[in-house]
Every structure is written in structure tokens, then in C-alpha cells.
Amino acid sequence: MRTPLLAFYGDDFTGSTDAMEVLANNGLDTLLFLNRPDEAGIRAAGRRHDAIGFAGISRAKGVDWMDRELPAVYGALEATGAAICHYKVCSTFDSSPEIGNIGRAIEIGRRVLGAATPVPLVVGAPAMRRYTAFGHLFAGAGAAVYRIDRHPTMSAHPVTPMGEADLRAHLARQAPLRIGLLDVAALSRPDVAQRLQTEMQDSDVVLFDVLDDASQVRTGELIWSLAGREQAPLFCVGSSGLEYALAAHWRSLWPERVRHEERGAQAVDRIAVVSGSCSPVTAGQIRHALRHGFADLRADPVALASDDRHEAESARLLAAAHAALAGGLSPLIYTAAGPDDPEVARFNAVLREQGRDRREALALMGRRKGLLLQRLLRESGLARVVTSGGDTSGEVVQALGLNALRMKARLAPGAPLCDAYTDTGSAPVIEIALKGGQIGSEDYFSAVRAGHGGAG
């Protein structure tokens, strides 16, 4: 095994722990940096670990930000010495020409990394109930599976709604890329390697369908074969579906080294939850938690985002959290319970009236939640916390001053419990789970408290 096998940059913090989870759950020693060290530190980490990750925020950024920041990101990936450098995106692929432009990220990565091989693109991840068939993306919600442009949440996403299920058409609107496809029918054929070569001849990007276990394993095998052709790293883009596919193939190559490792954690009496997600999935998790030992600490989003009221609102929430802990409950601080929560409309109306940028206001609110949680942890001695929502999670972990994560326990696909470090040479300072809005069963928050997976 060449190590590190893979280095990845996650375009949000929850997605970064998703990729780390897949690798760690297959026995690969994986370190996720929340702040990039210098090049010497990156190279040293690469020599000690099977995989290295860097958590980022590009999913919520515009192309000007990408042009400034992503070259250094790709330089850090290359500095690890990894065989594969992965720009990791959300498995719902929500993005637009203006925000989280995946096409622009591909263009920058190809230039910086000198990618001579067309970029493999993998989005399907059956373990996450994400599937690609003939280039179209499908995602589960509740008991059903929807085409992504008809998904009840992602088709109505407040920032990057998905109005196109054909990923090639969606990506082509973001950058002038030639996008090939190795579809699920081709993957099942004995001449698939030759078909891949044909697709690569006239493509900048090749999308690999992943519909089931068989197509996932075949995809991993084909991509790993490409990684061995050049001394330079193979540049790949996609969801944690890439890690799932590669790990499935690596298990066949190195069964003694790469194998499933189910991990759990001990139960704790109480945890704290901070949520900024408006997802229906998170709303169901909030309702379940409030029936099972969590205290209802609804925050006023307008007050938290204001210049003159946020201190009083934070003080109110802090006092309520301490009272909940004293009563044996776990404080659950949230600003909305689903997209139809009246607070969402009120918040948006106030921002329009004030002429404020919504993304900037949400980021400010996230930072203030992080500072509130930091104070609660310092004063209460709580050892385990959850953040819900990709952007909220990024702001919170930065406010907590955390520098790196390692997976501790797998609780639900895409949202592990992690040991968090301010210094990777010292003991972890807290246990934290970063949960995306669409991730987890309805008892997820209870599962974090219990230290093992929930109902689904």
C-alpha cells in the first residue's frame, strides 16, 4: 500500500466527516484537519496516516472566493503525497454557477495539480441512499427515492435548489467542461475498461454511475487503475461515494489491512445540541429528541443575527441550558424546526427589510451559536456535543478553536461521533458529531447520547 492512499478537501464540515467516516470505518487511519497546518506539518501527517482530510467551506462560497482560496487547498492536497486527491462535494450535488460552483473547482484543480487524466466524478453512494443511473441523480427521503430535481428538500433548497437531475447538464452550466459518462450498463460489461478509455479520449470529466454494490466495486477498481498510471496524484471529484467505491476495491486488494471496523462509544447522561438546519429530517430529529430527554431551547434567529440583541439572547439561552442540565436534560438549541417553521419566513423578511445579505447573516448567527456553545462547555464540563447543518457546523467548530478530528464511533452513515483536538499531539478535548441537515434517523440525537447507531 502506498500511503497516504488519499487526501481530500470537503466543501463543508459535515461532508468532511462523512468522507473521514468511510475511510476510518474501513480500518484506514484518517486525520481530518479543521485548520491547515504549514507544508512541513502536512507532509509529516501524510507520512503517518493512511488518509488526510481538510475540512472546508467552499460549498457556500462564490467563484471569486474559489479563485483566491482553492489553489492553496489543492497545493495542500498534493503536499500530502497521496495517490489520489479528492475534491469532496455533497452527495446531493447542490451547487450553482454562483454558489459552490463544482465546475470551477474542477477547472482550478486540473490546472493546479496538472491533471493529465480526465477527472473521475463519483456521486452515487448507496449507503447514503444516493444513486446515479445513466447520469441522473436520485436521493432518498423518508421511505421514498426521488429524482433529485423532484426531491422534497433539495428541489427547494433556499440557496442552491436542484432543478436538474442530469448531472452532466447541471455541471455543464457551471463550467465549459466536456463530460463523459460510464453508465451502469457499461459498468456491467466485460469490456468496461475499453469503454472507459473511449470516454476518456474526448472528456475533461468522466461521471461514473453508482447504483448498487456491484457498480460501486467496479467503479473503485477502475479509478484505482487510473491512479497507478502517473507519478502525479489522480485528481477526483465527487461525494463520499468515491471513498465507498475505493474502499470496496481496496478490501479485495489488502484484506488484512482494509476491513470493516464497527466502532461504538460509551453512553453519557447528557449532551448539548446546536442546530441551524431547516431540513425536514432535522425537524423530525428535534421532535423526537424533545420527547426523549432533551430540553426545548428555541433560539430567536433575528435576535442572534442582530447587533444589539444577540448578547441578551445568548445569555438567555445559556441560562436555560444550565437549568436544563441541572434538571438532568440535554439542552437542544435550535433556530428552526423544518422549512415551514414561521421563524424562517420571519427571519428572511427582517433581512429583506434591513437590506442584509442572507448568507452573511446566517454565518454570523452560526459564529454566535459557536461562542455560546464554547461558554456552555467551559462552564458545564459537558464532554459530548452535536452540531446540525453544514454551515452551522463549520462556524461552530471554528468558534470552539478545534484543529482536527478523528472518528470515534459510527452512529449513522455520514455523521460519525469524533474525537476533537486543539493539538493532535495531545488528548482530545471533546467528542463532537457534525450532522448534515439531511442525515440520520429520527432518533439521531438520542443515538449520539447513547454512543451507538440509531434506528436507521
Compute the mean pLDDT over every residue in the chain, rounded to the nearest whole number: 94
3-state secondary structure of 95: coil
Q: Output the nine-digit C-alpha cell for 28.
A: 484506514
Q: Alpha-carbon distance 85 to 117, whole Å?
A: 13
Q: How would you label 36-65 residue by residue, b for 16+ Cβ within 10 Å and e otherwise?
A: bbeeeebeebbeebbbbbbbbbbbbbbbee
pLDDT of residue 453: 72
pLDDT of residue 65: 97
Please report, for residues 51, 217, 220, the alpha-carbon distance to residue 258 in angstroms, rounded to integers and kept in the order given.
Answer: 12, 14, 14
pLDDT tens-digit series, residues 413-446: 889 999 999 988 899 999 999 998 888 999 999 9
pLDDT of residue 456: 41
The answer to whether 190 and 113 are in contact (CB under 8 A) is no
pLDDT tens-digit series, residues 203-243: 999 999 999 999 999 999 999 999 976 678 999 999 999 99
Q: Alpha-carbon distance 272 to 40, whole Å?
A: 36
**What is the number of helices (H) and of strands (E) in the chain?**
16, 18
Can you give the pLDDT of all 456 residues of the chain as single tens digits?
A: 667 999 999 999 989 999 999 999 999 999 999 999 998 999 889 889 999 999 999 998 999 999 999 999 999 999 999 999 999 999 999 999 999 999 999 999 999 998 889 999 999 999 999 999 999 999 998 899 999 999 998 998 888 999 999 999 999 999 999 999 999 999 999 999 999 999 999 999 999 999 999 999 999 999 999 997 667 899 999 999 999 999 999 999 999 999 988 778 999 999 999 999 998 999 999 999 999 999 999 999 999 999 999 999 999 999 999 999 999 999 999 999 998 999 999 999 999 999 998 888 988 999 999 999 999 999 999 999 999 988 888 888 888 999 999 999 999 888 999 999 998 889 999 999 999 888 899 999 999 999 987 544
pLDDT of residue 437: 87
The answer to whether 112 and 79 are in contact (CB under 8 A) is no
pLDDT of residue 116: 83
DSSP string computed for 81-94:
T-SEEEEE--TT--
pLDDT of residue 438: 86
Q: Alpha-carbon distance 16 to 10, whole Å?
A: 4
pLDDT of residue 435: 93
Domains and CATH numbers, the chain: 6-253 (3.40.50.10840), 272-450 (3.40.980.20)
Rg (CA), the chain: 21
Centroid of chain to Cα 239: 8
Q: Output the nine-digit C-alpha cell for 262.
A: 464497527
Closest CA to 333 of 292, 388, 381: 388
pLDDT of residue 2: 62
pLDDT of residue 115: 84
Closest CA to 196 of 234, 229, 222, 214: 222
pLDDT tens-digit series, residues 8-44: 999 999 899 999 999 999 999 999 999 999 989 998 8
The answer to whether 122 and 238 are in contact (CB under 8 A) is yes
Q: Alpha-carbon distance 124 to 248, whole Å?
A: 14
- For the chain, how many residues are written? 456
